[in-house]
């Protein structure tokens, strides 16, 4: 009997496989923590700012909106079976003056990880300056990267929007806009919208997550900022038995 038990034991063993799971979010909602999960990583991309409004002449362009921030927080403690709220930002929209800023993307109440939206560009009446990319206001400290700055407008040229910050790349922060929108940083950071070029030309909207809007020339259409984004990552351990 003892020999039979030894033989069976040598033929049966347990193994475990750790598998990384990723969930992406493009709209606000809630996340139900799976059983067995106690730690997660949350990455946030803020919305891009809209461009400023142009005026009645070609020498009155709008400035480009800034790109949204990127923020990351690892090892966030969670409880299996618990639902957690989160907010995914909207992009900034046009106004009759300076562009609206992009919204903030954050986990819970925003006290753990938050990526701030890019500021709006200035209208012709306020100097048609581009919105400045910044790490200010985001969390956690040391885990926030700025979107690119929007460009200033010039006669016949609307300011390009700043690129949205991304999770990889030198410094992670996006490039600034010129007449052409700032390039995105990988991954998920979006290119800023191009500024209008010529008489009465519209600015282009931000092209992907966090991209700032491009400014118009004269009173043409203002480029809106692109919405934000969220990614949740956690590790699942599967246990199996091999005979």
Nearest of 119, 117, 58, 123 to residue 96 by alpha carbon = 123
**DSSP strand pairing (29-32 vs 105-107):** unpaired
Of 161, 163, 165, 191, give the one whose Cα is nearest residue 179.
161
Give CA angle at 98 (48, 175), nearest 5°. Answer: 35
Q: What angle do CA 225, 228, 232 make, to 5 degrees?
A: 170
Highest mean pLDDT among 29-33, 149-153, 186-190, 199-203: 29-33
**pLDDT higher than 70, residue 192:** yes
Q: Full-prediction pTM beyond 0.75?
A: yes
38-52, 119-133, 174-188, 204-218: which range is least confident on average? 174-188
Is residue 1 scored above 80 in pLDDT?
no
Residue carrying structure tokens 């639902």? 83
Gap between the Cα atoms of 118 and 135, Å rounded: 10
């Amino acid at each position: 009997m003892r020999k039979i038990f030894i033989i069976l034991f040598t033929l049966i063993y347990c193994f475990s496989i750790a598998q990384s799971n990723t969930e992406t979010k493009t709209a606000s909602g809630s996340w139900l923590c799976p059983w067995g999960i106690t730690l997660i990583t949350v990455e946030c991309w803020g919305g891009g700012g809209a461009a400023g409004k142009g005026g009645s002449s070609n020498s009155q362009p709008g400035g480009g909106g800034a790109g949204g921030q990127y923020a990351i927080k690892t090892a966030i403690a969670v409880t299996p079976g618990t639902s957690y709220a989160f907010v995914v930002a909207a992009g900034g929209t046009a106004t009759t003056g300076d562009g609206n800023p992009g919204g903030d993307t954050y986990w819970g109440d925003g006290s753990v990880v938050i990526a701030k939206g890019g500021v709006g560009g200035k209208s012709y009446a306020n100097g048609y300056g581009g919105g400045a990319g910044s790490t200010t206001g985001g969390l956690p400290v040391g885990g926030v990267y700025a979107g690119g700055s929007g460009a200033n407008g010039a006669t016949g040229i609307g300011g390009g929007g700043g690129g949205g910050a991304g999770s990889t790349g030198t410094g992670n922060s996006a490039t600034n806009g010129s007449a052409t929108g700032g390039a995105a940083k990988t991954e998920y950071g979006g290119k800023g919208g191009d500024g209008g070029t010529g008489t009465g030309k519209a600015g282009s909207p931000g092209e992907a997550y966090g991209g700032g809007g491009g400014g118009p020339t004269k009173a043409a259409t203002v480029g809106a900022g692109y919405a934000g984004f969220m990614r949740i990552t956690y590790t699942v351990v599967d246990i199996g038995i091999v005979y």
